[in-house]
């Protein structure tokens, strides 16, 4: 099938031979393997790499990079494949380095509240391995993403309102540079003022500045008490009003998520829940038993003052798990609202004082559309998503989704927000990068890319237009 990306020359035979000889069965040019690495969870047209190599170590990644560089062939890192902005689509061809077999938890330093992991370790795997330590890793983007990929896209999710994003939760990383050199970006000290912040430079760089091959992440003690709750509201406005007040008075809520009525109806069908089909907040509170009680009472009062109904508690672990699994499945649940559709996700984030206004205006966009568009998100951070359900083969629907996304992003930028709270730029948000940051800042980004990858071999065509 033709795809809309520029054509590129095939891989040089000599490179294929060299990779094949060196990596044997871990190297593949089979169409099935390439296709599997050329499609993400979004509507972006697929773009398969020319070959896939499964790396098993930092040194192997460095070797692959050096080989590809010799032939000026693009290199695309791949984690769990759960990104939604086309981050790993091989739009200029090249070799995909699949890091999913680098999935070892290298060290758990329970006393220091940190762990060092390979980039293919997923967040669920890490938490399973932490099970007996009394610690956990909080960042939770919904999908069981790889930690390397989460760092590369500066991911966050439901817990970020309390624990921060990947930006705040990585102490240091091992990174393979474009010329195959291996560097370490930080030690294990909780803070440091020693030179430029290379860790943060690579976090969110989407594989365009270097390939993350090891990370040291922060861990947290599992709270003594955890309590979740669900509360339906008469309107999205009322729900958002509750969120804003909760944040403004400083309740250290661990999660506060909004699902609109359409999303709830999708969740009920998909996850066999029986939630009231109204705008709904999902809460989670972490702390001591008394602390959780105190937070929950306060938030319940705020919710009641905004007309919240049926505050329902889930304190047993199995009930909480079911609730949050339903929340995490919302994306897939929404897809079932229109069988055969793909999701065009939006991802704006605004200062919380503008959140109600932003969602209200966005709901007017939704009301005018003929496409089903559930809305949900991490509203404690001012971040929400639309899942615009389209048939990618229908150009009118694609155009409408793009128009809605454009309107939502412009609105968020006018409110001093961002075009992407957590998904990243990839190929999907490049047109907004300039509007958000301005010419000068994007020039600085270009200068950084030029400084670290002068031949534009690392995941070319991503982030920078």
Q: Per rule CB under 8 A, is residue 244 in the interface with its own copies?
A: yes
Q: Per rule CB under 8 A, is residue 77 in the interface with its own copies?
A: no
Residue 269 corresponds to which tokens in the numbers above?
Answer: 């069908």
Of the ranges 69-77, 254-262, 349-357, 361-369, which one interacts with its own copies (CB under 8 A)?
349-357
Size of interface with its own copies, in residues (CB under 8 A): 92
Residue 310, by phi and psi: left (phi above 0), alpha (psi -120 to 50) or beta? left
Binding to its own copies (CB under 8 A): which residues in 95-124? 109-114
| Cβ-based nearer residue to its own copies, 213 or 265 | 213
Minimum CB distance to its own copies, residue 257 (Å): 15
| Cβ-based nearer residue to its own copies, 4 or 440 | 440
| Cβ-based nearer residue to its own copies, 129 or 293 | 293
| Cβ-based nearer residue to its own copies, 407 or 448 | 448
| Cβ-based nearer residue to its own copies, 144 or 168 | 168
Q: Per rule CB under 8 A, is residue 249 in the interface with its own copies?
A: yes
Binding to its own copies (CB under 8 A): which residues in 277-316? 287-288, 290-291, 294
Least Cα distance to 149 among 233, 71, 205, 222 occurs for 205
Residue from 452, 457, 459, 460 binding its own copies (CB under 8 A): 452
Q: Per rule CB under 8 A, is residue 146 in the interface with its own copies?
A: no
Q: Per rule CB under 8 A, is residue 247 in the interface with its own copies?
A: yes
Residue from 38, 81, 207, 421 binding its own copies (CB under 8 A): 421
Minimum CB distance to its own copies, residue 287 (Å): 8
Minimum CB distance to its own copies, residue 245 (Å): 10
How far apart are the C-alpha atoms of 435 and 268, rounded to whole Å?
Answer: 38
Binding to its own copies (CB under 8 A): which residues in 182-241? 182-185, 187-198, 200-201, 203-205, 209, 220-221, 223
Residue from 371, 422, 459, 460 binding its own copies (CB under 8 A): 422
């Amino acid at each position: 099938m033709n795809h809309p990306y520029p054509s590129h020359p095939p891989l040089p035979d000599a490179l294929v031979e060299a990779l094949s000889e060196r990596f044997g069965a871990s190297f593949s040019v089979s169409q099935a393997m390439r296709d599997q690495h050329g499609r993400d969870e979004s509507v972006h047209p697929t773009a398969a790499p020319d070959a896939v190599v499964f790396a098993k170590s930092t040194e192997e990644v460095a070797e692959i990079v050096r080989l590809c560089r010799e032939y000026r062939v693009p290199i695309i890192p791949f984690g769990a494949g759960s990104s939604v902005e086309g981050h790993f689509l091989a739009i200029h061809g090249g070799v995909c380095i699949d890091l999913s077999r680098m999935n070892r938890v290298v060290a758990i330093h329970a006393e220091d509240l940190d762990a060092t992991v390979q980039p293919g370790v997923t967040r669920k795997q890490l938490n399973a391995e932490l099970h007996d330590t009394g610690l956990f890793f909080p960042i939770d983007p919904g999908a069981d993403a790889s930690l390397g990929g989460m760092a590369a896209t500066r991911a966050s999710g439901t817990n970020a309102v309390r624990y921060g994003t990947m930006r705040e939760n990585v102490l240091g990383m091992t990174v393979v540079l474009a010329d195959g050199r291996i560097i370490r970006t930080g030690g294990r000290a909780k803070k440091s003022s020693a030179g430029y912040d290379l860790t943060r430079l690579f976090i969110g760089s989407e594989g365009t500045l270097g390939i993350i091959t090891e990370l040291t992440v922060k861990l947290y003690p599992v709270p003594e008490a955890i309590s979740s709750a669900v509360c339906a509201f008469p309107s999205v406005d009322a729900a958002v009003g509750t969120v804003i007040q909760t944040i403004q008075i400083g309740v250290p809520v661990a999660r506060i998520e909004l699902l609109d009525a359409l999303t709830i109806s999708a969740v009920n069908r998909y996850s066999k829940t029986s939630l009231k089909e109204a705008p709904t907040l999902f809460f989670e509170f972490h702390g001591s038993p008394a602390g959780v009680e105190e937070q929950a009472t306060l938030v319940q009062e705020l919710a009641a003052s905004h007309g919240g109904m049926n505050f329902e508690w889930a304190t047993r672990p199995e009930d909480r798990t079911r609730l949050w699994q339903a929340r995490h499945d919302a994306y897939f649940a929404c897809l079932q609202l229109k069988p055969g559709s793909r999701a065009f996700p939006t991802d704006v984030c605004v200062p919380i004082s503008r959140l109600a206004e932003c969602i209200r205006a966005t709901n007017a966009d939704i009301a005018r559309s003929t496409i089903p568009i559930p809305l949900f998100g991490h509203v404690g951070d001012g971040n929400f998503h639309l899942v615009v359900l389209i048939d990618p083969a229908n150009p009118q629907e694609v155009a409408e989704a793009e128009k809605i996304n454009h309107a939502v992003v412009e609105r968020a930028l006018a409110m001093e927000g961002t075009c992407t709270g957590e998904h990243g730029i990839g190929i999907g948000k490049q047109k907004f990068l300039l509007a958000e940051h301005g010419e000068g800042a994007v020039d600085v980004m270009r200068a950084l890319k030029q400084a670290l990858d002068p031949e534009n071999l690392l995941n070319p065509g991503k982030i920078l237009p």
